[in-house]
Structure 1
Amino acid sequence: MKALVYDGVETLIFRDVPDAIAAPDQELVRIASSGICGSDMHAYLGHDDRRPAPLILGHEAAGTIIGGARDGERVTINPLVGCGTCQYCTSGRENLCPERKIISMPPREGAFAELVAMRPENLVTVPDHVPFDKAALAEPLAVSWHSVRLGLAALDPGASRSALVLGGGAIGVAAALALKAQGLDDVVIAEPNETRRLFVENQCLISSVPAGTGQFGMVVDAVGYASTRDIASSLTEPGGVIVHIGLGEDLGGLDIRRMTLQEITFIGTYTYTPKDFRDTCAAIFDGRLGPLDWTEQRSLSDGADAFADLRAGRVAAPKIILHP
């Protein structure tokens, strides 16, 4: 099969690799659409020791099962695999499993390829009316759906029902859509890149500003740098919530004194539960997350150029979808 292989820092090669083979407890999926994630970019830049070269990246994918009883079924892939036996897995919190794995991390190859093997419980059926490009957004949308659910549950009743999202990339846009779908209408995205900001406003129909000002009941940091954490801890209302999804850098930024005195809740959140993934899929399928037409499509064979364009800031769309 053909695959886009990460061979070293800022080096991706489209080449032949051995076909993926499904184990007896797995299904084989022919990939139709696969999105580029920020974590793929971290690996591409050599910033992720968990993803050593050579490796097939990619974990946001949808396609068709080939072979077996479900042959021909259209599916989207939940790429997280827990151990199934720990206290987190047995309580439905597989995202906290100490042994959790994800495709695109050894020993599991990723979805920037023609074929991927995945266990059946990680495959959600996609209705015929939903294009694969939308179905492939289930994974990043689920990340934001999960984070918003946690944030709303922690929001003080006295805080306003308003939200600022820091970052107009895919996770930031997804957070804004999830906030609206879960009942929060007063949502604005802060995005310094003018091209991206105009795209968010015109294509995603979400209010956006160059930088955040004012006070908000919830601030979602979809970037994760010290500078954005500083903004989050200064713009969150007393009794409000900071929801931290971004993984930009590890340290700095939070005003712990203000957060303590104003009883501001900080929630670090990573990935999603299986229920969050299924709920997100349902919201995609019934249109609650909007048209989801803010992606850019490219061929998997042009994937190296897509990464280079993202690296150089030449892409306005929040998400690039690759087609094998």
Structure 2
Amino acid sequence: MKALVYTGPEQLEYRDEPEASPGDGEVMVQVDAVGICGSDMHAYLGHDDRRPAPLILGHEAAGVVVSGPDTGRRVTINPLVTCGQCQACRSRRNNLCPDRQIISMPPRPGAFAQFVSMPAQNLVTVPDGYSLETASMAEPLACGWHAVRMAESASVIPLAEAKCQVIGGGAIGLGAALALVAMGATDVAIGETNTLRHPALENAGPVKIYNPRSEAAVGDGEADIVIDGVGFAATREAACRLVRGGGVIVHIGLGESTGGLDIRRVTLQEVTFIGTYTYTPDDFRETTDAMFDGLLGKLDWAETRALADGVGAFADIRSGRAAAPKIILKP
């Protein structure tokens, strides 16, 4: 099968690879669409030791089942494979399973390929007439949905009354903003420094878009909820500065591991800091239900390119030339 393979820092090859082989309880999915995630970019830059080269990346995918009794079923993929037996899995927090695996990380090849094998329980049916390209965005949107659910549970201010700040206008940040709106928030702003993205963000939903390098949506210490969808030292510093005393910071981004967290302010102001990783199975299905019901907007802000052109897509994201919050590749 054809696949886009990470071969070393800032190196990708579109080449022939052995076809995916389903294991017990797994089915083969012919990939129709697969998004480029921030974690794919981290691996591409050589910043993720969990994803050593050579490796097929990509975990935001949708396609059609081509093996087993469900052949022909249109599906979007929950890429997080867990044991189902541990305490975390039994409590429906599968994302914390100590034996969790995710496609695009050894031992599971990713979905920048014509085919990928997945456990049947990781597949969610996509309604007839619903675009598989749009359905492939379920994974990043579920990350935002999970983050908002965690923020809502920790905030003493109801979402309908909360001043909500999202740092970063990529698919994770935008997805979190749309989830905030879907769950009742009315005061939501996204800070995005790449102004090429602003038109797409402004058309995505009822949220304020601003460039934090030159303007502010709220004053320092005024935000009830801050969601960091980037995860660099500078964005953590901004989150600590923006949040009010007693407020909530939810950290999704994995840009860099250290720096920026103002422990003194978090402690003295009793700020709740929550790290969030992916989503639970319930979050994923709630997200897809919201997508199919139109609660997250039109979701028409992604750019589509051929998988064969993936090398150029990664280069454009790397250089800041990509205007869309998400680039989806088509095998």
Q: TM-score range by the shorter chain?
A: over 0.9
1:229 aligns with 2:236: yes
Cα pair 1:204 1:294 within 8 Å, conserved: no
Match of 1:299 in 2: 306
SS in 2 for 1:306: helix
2:164 is the alignment partner of 1:163: yes
CA offsets, 1:169-217, max 9 Å, x none?
1111001000001111110001112212233114555311111441111
* Secondary structure at 1:42 match in 2: helix
Partner residue, 1:321: 328
Selected match of 1:287 from 265, 270, 294: 294
| Inter-partner Cα distance in structure 2 for 1:218 and 1:67 | 45
TM-score by length of 1: 0.97
In structure 2, the partner of 1:311 is 318
Q: Give the Cα separation in 1 of the matches to 2:285 and 2:12.
A: 32
Helix, strand or coil at the partner of 2:133: helix
Indicate the residue corresponding to 2:190 in structure 1.
189
Structure 1 range deviating more: 249-258 or 151-160: 151-160
Q: Percent identity?
A: 60
1:5 aligns with: 5
Counterpart CA distance in 1 for 2:204 and 2:155 is: 30
TM-score by length of 2: 0.95
Contact 2:204–2:299 under 8 Å retained in 1: no
Superposed counterparts of 1:127-166, under 5 Å: 127-157=127-157, 160-166=161-167
Q: CA deviation at 1:83?
A: 1.9
User: How many Å separate the matches in 2 of 1:23 and 1:47?
Assistant: 30
Question: Cα RMSD (Å) of the superposition?
Answer: 1.4
Residue segments in structure 2 that go unaligned for 5+ positions in a row? none
Check conservation: 2:152, 2:158, Cα contact below 8 A: no
Distance 1:229 1:180 in 2: 23
User: Residues 73-88 of structure 1 correspond to what in structure 2 (within 5 A)?
Assistant: 73-88=73-88
1:34 counterpart residue number: 34
Give me the whole-angstrom Cα distance separating, in 1, the residues matched to 2:293 and 2:35.
Answer: 21
Distance 1:205 1:153 in 2: 23
Q: Please give the alpha-carbon distance, in whole angstroms, between the structure 2 residues aligned to 1:22 and 1:99.
A: 19
Corresponding position: 1:50 with 2:43: no
Q: Provide the C-alpha distance between the structure 2 equivalents of 1:227 and 1:10, rounded to a whole number of angstroms.
A: 24
TM-superposition CA deviations, 1:112-131 (whole Å, max 9, x none): 00001100000000001210
Check the 8 A contact 2:187/2:207 in 1, yes or no. Answer: no
| Matched-pair contact (CA < 8 Å) for 2:141–2:172 | yes
CA distance in 2: counterparts of 1:31 and 1:108, whole angstroms:
15
Task: Name the stretch that deviates more: 252-261 or 37-46.
Answer: 252-261
Give the letter for the 1:314 counterpart.
R
What does the per-residue CA deviation read over 1:267-294, in whole Å, with 9 as the maximum and x for residues that have no partner? 1101000000010010011100000000
> In the alignment, is the contact (CA less than 8 A) between 1:158 and 1:239 conserved in 2?
no
CA gap 1:40/1:80 in 2 versus in 1, 3 angstroms: same
1:64-143 paired onto structure 2 within 5 Å: 64-143=64-143
Query: Do the aligned partners of 2:59 and 2:111 also contact (CA within 8 Å) in 1?
Result: yes
